[in-house]
Structure 1
Amino acid sequence: MILTGNQITEEVGKARIIIDPFDESCVNPNSYNFTLSDTLLVYEEGVIDTKSENPTRMIKMVNGELVLKPWTLYLAATRERIGSHYFAPTYAARSSVARLGMFINLSAPLGDIGFVGKWTLQLFAIHPIRVYEGMRIGQMMFWQPSGERMIYDGKYQNATGPMKSQIYKDMAKYKEANVTKLASSEA
């Protein structure tokens, strides 16, 4: 079940939802509008390899604005620290942003219960779009879980800005687990 805006506000007051800084004017009927930070990352040219740490370069907005190039992936972040140990967060673009032909989330809208940090957004524009630091770019929803909660404590915990993919760490663990499994089956 999704939390209403009034319930989100109440849960922030109880510290069961973290939104820092919290602005009551950003509360919607069933979500909270979050804002865009001024720092972004883009991957360097070339093939992105899931088994390797891929180089990125940082882009800072100039005078609080940036024009996004079409068909380029920008990793941005929320200005707010957001999360909860009690509710499952999901996020999406504000419909006004989506109507411009800009995506803020390509395929990973679900956050884990227990993650608290600045959320990495995947900005992708169909045509050139000027964005601004502090613009209300997306909305966070919170869902009541059913069953025993498992609290996230993974590689993106406490993010303070946009974070590039760390899937290479998963790939290394997978390879290590398979080598150990193979060695024990050969013994």
Structure 2
Amino acid sequence: MGDRPAESTLVSSNDHRVFRALGLSLRLAAIPLCAASLWVMATDEQANESYGKVEFSNLPGLRYMVCVGAVSLGYSVVSILFACLRCVNNDWFFFISDQVVAYLMVTSGSAVAEVLYLAHEGDRQTSWSEACSYYGRFCDRTKVSLALHSAALLCFIALFLVSSYTLFSKFEAPSVSDSSKGVGE
């Protein structure tokens, strides 16, 4: 029975190595996804002879996604440096910042999804007509950027789960006190 804690510590140590490697892999995978989404959206524009030119900068939801994409890309690079250098208390830093980045990505992805919905369907109550039939390439590139953004979001959701496990596995579960025995006796 004395060997049990040593085995548990060994498994826990191996788990931590596996999860740290998984976290690093996810951070590396997020970089090209964030960069590609950012580039596709930032270069998205189309001109139409009848209606003029539309660019991502004309729509606040798309501008917001570009800003969040830049933050996510920067964070991915910085977090890899922090993970490799171990210069801060990585576990708490990653636990909090992975959540913040994931939440930002959810909000920006939702904003773009709304813009795309209105561009495809329009809004009859406010007399907005759909625009994707006139700006098809613009809408298609926006969809591609949103898909890449969503893939990066999945990386950050997985990173949040990994950072949660890495942080909270260091703590023991709270013990259940046996106070109920004293009450009934």
Fold match (TM-score > 0.5): no
Q: Tell me the TM-score normalized by structure 2.
A: 0.22
**Greater share of strand residues, 1 or 2?**
1
**Greater share of helix residues, 1 or 2?**
2
Greater RCO, 1 or 2 (C-alpha within 8 Å, sep 6+): 2
